[in-house]
Structure 1
Amino acid sequence: MPRFAVLNAPRATLSAIALAAMVAGHAAWAAPVAKPATPAPAASAPVAEAPEAPRVPEQSSLDGQLFYQLLIAEIQANGGDAGSAYQLYLDAARRHQSGQLYQRAVEIALRARAGEQALSAAKAWRQALPQSRDAAEFTSQILIVLGRPGELAAPLRALIQLTPTPQQPQVLANLPRSLARLSDRQVAAQVLDEATQPWRQPPLEMAEAWAASGEAWLMAKQFPKAMTATRKALALQPDLLTANLLAADMIGQQPDAEALVKQRMGRADAPPLLRLAYARRLASSQRYEEAATQLDELVKVQPEQTGHWILLAAVRLELRQTDAAEAALKQVLARTEPAAATPAQPAQSAPNSNAGNTGSTATVSGDLNLDKDREQAYLLLAQLDDLRGKRAEALRWLELADPRREKMAVQSQRARLLAQQGKVAEARALLRGLPESEPRDAITKAQAEVQLLRDLGQLPEAYKVLEQTSARYPDDHELQYDQAMLAEKLKRFQDMERLLRRVIELAPDNPNAYNALGYSLADRKVQLDEARALVEKAAALKPADPFITDSLGWVAFRQGRLDDAVKLLREAYTARPDTEIGAHLGEVLWAQGRKDEALRVWRESQTRDRDNDTLKETLQRLGAAL
């Protein structure tokens, strides 16, 4: 490494010198300026003073050689020669054992996207200054970005150790999301466990460390390990919100998760965020009555949160409780009323002309920038009026939700309403005319049109649209999957198998393709061994998914393993009381001669979806009357 002497240094501008001084650390390296002596106050008679000893300025670390070395490094960095600038800073950092200089070397390498050089400088920094928390943090972040989990545990552990004790819980809580950038979530969880091991055992044991472990294993879909860690966290600190939220996330995946959540929810100081997470989990499991109960309590505590009212309205709509849904949506409109429109931009009124309508007056400011919650309220109000058979009013709510007529979700709902009025051509033209800002938009539009045609029962026409779109985008595995599902509905089983095998080829980690193919084979009682292998592969990719568990149970039923089938289907139905899963469970119970129990399951399932095709076909085929 050449040394740059003062005489050989190029002439620099004042701005460059200032930049070099700034990078070097301002006052940290500047020689202190001696304070001038304060004059003595005037007096009637002179007072003799002892002569003051001459002050000797403290020596600065920034000598002439270092000053010009940093100056040249900055000039080179600004001139595009990042490699030379990096080497100059790294050399200076090593000679002066300066964390600031090491950090600048790392930053220059990162700016040049030279990851290995940045890592090399960070490692040298850690070795030279092992007590530097910044060095541990930079090293950890770079290793994560480079995807090098094998070297991560040590710097992460150092990062925690070098963090002041009061801040350690926050560092631990952030670790799972930081490690989520690693492609292999299971490896990420293992790294986290290795790094946090001292804080998951006495004398340093912390609930936050166990919660971080639980979150990492949950991300890896290793539910038993996640549950074990969550129990440990709650045993140490029952009020720890992150651990309680983890338990809520595992409802339906782990048998005792809900009991843990209910234990915390039973107290008067139950956190609203936990109640919201619990309500969402109940709603996603189609346990709408229980979800509504939790949300009713939540809006009492946080009535100003419009998102709670929207979720409550959506649940009430699922229960077909239109008046209760309307009452919740009125709360949203009252809390999101936009500022009064200007004379140049008059507000628009919501539908309110017919007797028995929603009775709300909604306005939207002329700048057309809607509050997101208000927009969602308009969408739900459109669904509500649709349920009431007031399609014209529903269309006007959608007009308020999207005055520019450019949002896919809104216009898809508008197209569906038009189609229900017999205006199918207009509905399809509406979807096809939506603007496309990126290539994926064309696929989304096609999928919306296909769903519209499926709802109308026009399956051959829907298949034709998918065929045309797939020809344009032959490597889009989602399109291939949608086409395969429609092929099965049309009993084009050879096409379905071909398409699903193509999906597996394009996306080998897609559990839905393995599950769909395995279930279809089992349902048709063909290639049962392959069907079982396919569904087991899906279960390995997506453990504890109730629909995949349902497929496993159905395969077992087709193979004559009735006890295994009942066990699996009951597990799936408990996790997700879906009507189709209930139809399968009832059929296996019926085959075992447990007809009363089968009828009970079917009746329960029918209350959720009376028009479910699988349930209706099962009852008809078996001659069962509910």
Structure 2
Amino acid sequence: MFRLFTAATLVALLGACTSAPSPAVSDPPSSAAPQSATPKPAAAPERAIPGESVYPLLLAEFALRRKAYDIALEQYLEQSQALQDRGVSAHTTHIAQFMQREAEALQAVQLWAELEPDSLEANDTLATLLARAGRTAEALPHLAVIARQGEQANFPMLLNRFRALSAAEQQSLVAEMDALSAEIPSNTSLLLTRALAHDSLERPQQTLQILEQLFALEPNHHQGLLLEAKLLLEQNAKEPFAHIESALNSAPDDDNLRLKYARLLTRGDMSAARKQFEILSANSPRDGNLLFSLALINHEIDDNLAAKAYLRQLLALGQRVDEAHYYLGRIAEQEGHTKEAIASYMALEEADSPDFFRAKGRLGHILLNSQRMAEAKSLFDELRQQHPNSAERLYVLESELFMRAGHSRESLQLLNRALDEQPNSSPLRYSRAILAERQGDLALMESDLRTILEREPDNATALNALGYSLANRNKRLGEAEQLIAQALALQPGEPAILDSMGWVLYRQARYSEALSFLERAFAAFPDPEVAAHLGEALWMSGDKDRARSIWRKALQKAPQHEVLLSTIQRFDVGLLQVSP
């Protein structure tokens, strides 16, 4: 005959058997209740576990010991519903979270919150999972439970997907937050969230009013100060940074606020930003991040003497060494000191450095521009020998340099050689396809792209490249549309693919459909080629004034862009006679 344990007793008993005194990070969650700084809820009245639940609970706990987590979670999910016990539900939630199974964690914590509605952990976990799932409005009441108990609730999480909500959902959520703020007016997290939400809805006056309430409670609230400054800048206020500067005067050692202020200034006033970074650097003279920021700012405002001094300080400190070498090379190159530039670029030796390939690309550019092709080839041959794991990427980089320098024949020979060595390399084959397209060898281009797609049918880049190439030549438009549609299904928001879809629809005279894709592409990526396509579709749709406007603005930014120029010339709109 089975002894009838309570659910809490059984879980605690088994937890004592399975949990270690100091479990490793990778260990499964312990059955014992987690330590918490908040007061523990009153113990639930004990009740006997039904006999049919004892074995599944034992099975689940021993599965945890064997690290058979799927079995444990399955059993606990079933028993949490059967037993309706808050301890079992909490334990189920912890297991699901440990396994990163958010759907099951959400199911478990919803029951936990029902059984223990005042639990801070249950409500916080439930709010977080609901917000991640895009169910923002449902998360707010659970954050309210936490805030009403005087604890810190993470209200800003409500804005994670705020822009994805419909206008009606946004308005409803903001109204609910406003109502809750009237109930708990001293909650600064909620005030900030409301301010950010109203700012997102482009309500500057309401936002500033809420910020006044925030500052009454916390005068130097960093995020509030930055939001206020942004709004005042947008309104062309005379002294948009007065509040931040006042806060820094009252707390001159607040380096965190000063750093945020300095970064804000880099958007429009580099000289003022330099002053703030200099103060920060004086307080922390060995901070490489501050020195690097000062180097970039001084380079931006053409004070290369100061920029080089900061970069050399980085080298002396042994911090951000590769970046320092790269930017010293860039400055030397701009100043015409070719030998210094080469020496700086050569100093980058580790292929896993983010600046390694940029440096070698600049080095190759210098050599090719100096008609030192043999040296460039020798350089990349040596680099491939030194870094065999990066050979593929180095081949691609070298071929691009040859192509940009007008050496298409050498670029093709190099890619042919590379593919003989690495015939299954998609990046190399894609590079050759692009080169073949530029040289008008459409058969080679299509052959290479289809070879890639045979191995990687979901390669969106290859699908889009083949589809766009066909559309651009007004060939096999039905097939081109199908290829681009496949690419778009794989990467729905990619501007290049949106542009391709708009272009293939335009080629089929489906102008209204084309415009919907081209407008989205241009909004995300206002590239001159996208501008050329959008303008052409607008022109053919009858909106010639907007077409001219888009072409004119694009021409001002990229007066030598081939596709843009050829489009404007074809329509003979007179823009090329106007000086940009």
Coarse TM-score class (shorter-chain normalised): 0.5 to 0.7
Change (3 A) 1:502 1:527: closer
Aligned counterpart for 1:477 among listed residues 438, 460, 465: 460
Q: AA paired with 2:241?
A: M
Higher share of residues assigned helix: 2
Corresponding position of 1:333: 312
Q: Distance in 2 between matches of 1:154 and 1:126?
A: 13
Aligned counterpart for 1:381 among listed residues 328, 331, 335: 328
Aligned: 1:265 with 2:217: no
Change (3 A) 1:405 1:236: closer
Aligned counterpart for 1:130 among listed residues 93, 99, 117: 117
The structure with the larger Rg is 1
Aligned: 1:429 with 2:419: no
Cα deviation per residue 1:573-592 (whole Å; 9 max; x = unaligned)? 9xx956569x98xx89x988
Corresponding position of 1:392: 339
Aligned counterpart for 2:398 among listed residues 445, 449, 452: 449
Q: Distance in 2 between matches of 1:483 and 1:291?
A: 45
Cα deviation per residue 1:294-327 (whole Å; 9 max; x = unaligned)? 43343334335654654564466567x3xx1241
Q: Distance in 2 between matches of 1:109 and 1:237?
A: 39
Cα deviation per residue 1:69-112 (whole Å; 9 max; x = unaligned)? 977753343243415751687379735xx4x4421121234445
Corresponding position of 2:193: 209
Aligned counterpart for 1:172 among listed residues 155, 160, 166: 155
Change (3 A) 1:462 1:505: farther
CA contact (8 A) 2:522 2:531 kept: no
Kindly state the Cα deviation for residue 124 of structure 1 after the two structures are TM-superposed: 1.5
Is the partner of 2:361 in helix, strand or coil? helix
> Identity percentage over the alignment?
14
Corresponding position of 1:121: 108
- Name which structure has the greater RCO, CA cutoff 8 Å, separation 6+: 1
Change (3 A) 1:515 1:88: closer
Aligned: 1:292 with 2:274: no
Aligned counterpart for 1:237 among listed residues 211, 214, 222: 211
Corresponding position of 2:440: none
Kindly state the Cα deviation for residue 331 of structure 1 after the two structures are TM-superposed: 1.8
Kindly state the Cα deviation for residue 247 of structure 1 after the two structures are TM-superposed: 9.0
Kindly state the Cα deviation for residue 379 of structure 1 after the two structures are TM-superposed: 0.6
Kindly state the Cα deviation for residue 142 of structure 1 after the two structures are TM-superposed: 3.9
| TM-score when normalising by structure 2 | 0.62
Q: AA paired with 1:126?
A: A
Is the partner of 1:5 in helix, strand or coil? coil
Kindly state the Cα deviation for residue 444 of structure 1 after the two structures are TM-superposed: 5.0
Change (3 A) 1:546 1:331: same
Kindly state the Cα deviation for residue 3 of structure 1 after the two structures are TM-superposed: 6.9
Aligned: 1:543 with 2:523: yes
CA contact (8 A) 1:401 1:410 kept: yes
Change (3 A) 1:210 1:60: closer
CA contact (8 A) 2:467 2:500 kept: no
Kindly state the Cα deviation for residue 26 of structure 1 after the two structures are TM-superposed: 9.5
Change (3 A) 1:244 1:139: same
Q: Distance in 2 between matches of 1:259 and 1:313?
A: 31
Change (3 A) 1:471 1:563: closer
Q: Distance in 2 between matches of 1:315 and 1:495?
A: 49
Kindly state the Cα deviation for residue 443 of structure 1 after the two structures are TM-superposed: 7.1
Aligned counterpart for 2:369 among listed residues 420, 435, 441: 420
Q: AA paired with 2:4?
A: A
Matches within 5 A, 1:365-376: 371=319, 373-376=320-323
Change (3 A) 1:378 1:87: closer
CA RMSD of superposed structures (Å) = 5.5
Is the partner of 1:507 in helix, strand or coil? helix
Aligned counterpart for 2:62 among listed residues 75, 86, 99: 75
Question: Which runs of no fewer than 5 residues in structure 1 stay unpaired?
Answer: 29-57, 215-224, 251-255, 283-289, 339-363, 365-370, 603-626
Aligned counterpart for 1:534 among listed residues 501, 505, 514: 514
Is the partner of 1:392 in helix, strand or coil? helix
Corresponding position of 1:200: 178
CA contact (8 A) 1:382 1:394 kept: yes
The count of aligned residue pairs is: 481
Q: AA paired with 2:72?
A: A
Corresponding position of 2:84: 94
CA contact (8 A) 2:292 2:311 kept: yes
Matches within 5 A, 1:600-615: 602=580
Q: Distance in 2 between matches of 1:309 and 1:189?
A: 45
Cα deviation per residue 1:396-451 (whole Å; 9 max; x = unaligned)? 212333356874333333333343342342355367557576xxx78755653343
Q: Distance in 2 between matches of 1:228 and 1:195?
A: 15
Change (3 A) 1:307 1:133: same
Is the partner of 2:155 in helix, strand or coil? helix
Change (3 A) 1:137 1:15: closer
Corresponding position of 2:90: 103
Is the partner of 1:203 in helix, strand or coil? helix
Change (3 A) 1:65 1:160: closer
Change (3 A) 1:277 1:436: farther
Q: Distance in 2 between matches of 1:249 and 1:449?
A: 44
Is the partner of 2:147 in helix, strand or coil? coil
Kindly state the Cα deviation for residue 232 of structure 1 after the two structures are TM-superposed: 3.5
Kindly state the Cα deviation for residue 378 of structure 1 after the two structures are TM-superposed: 1.3
Question: Which runs of no fewer than 5 residues in structure 2 stay unpaired?
Answer: 22-29, 37-41, 216-220, 249-256, 416-430, 434-447
Q: Distance in 1 between matches of 2:472 and 2:548?
A: 30
Change (3 A) 1:446 1:473: farther
Matches within 5 A, 1:246-325: 258-259=234-235, 264-265=240-241, 268-269=245-246, 272-273=258-259, 275-278=261-264, 282=267, 290=268, 292-303=270-281, 304=284, 306-307=288-289, 310=292, 313-314=295-296, 321=302, 324-325=303-304
Aligned counterpart for 2:200 among listed residues 188, 211, 226: 226
Task: Identify which range, 389-398 or 238-247, moves more after superposition.
Answer: 238-247
Cα deviation per residue 1:473-510 (whole Å; 9 max; x = unaligned)? 4353346667899x79xx98468988897455313422
Corresponding position of 2:422: none
Kindly state the Cα deviation for residue 380 of structure 1 after the two structures are TM-superposed: 0.8
Kindly state the Cα deviation for residue 134 of structure 1 after the two structures are TM-superposed: 1.9
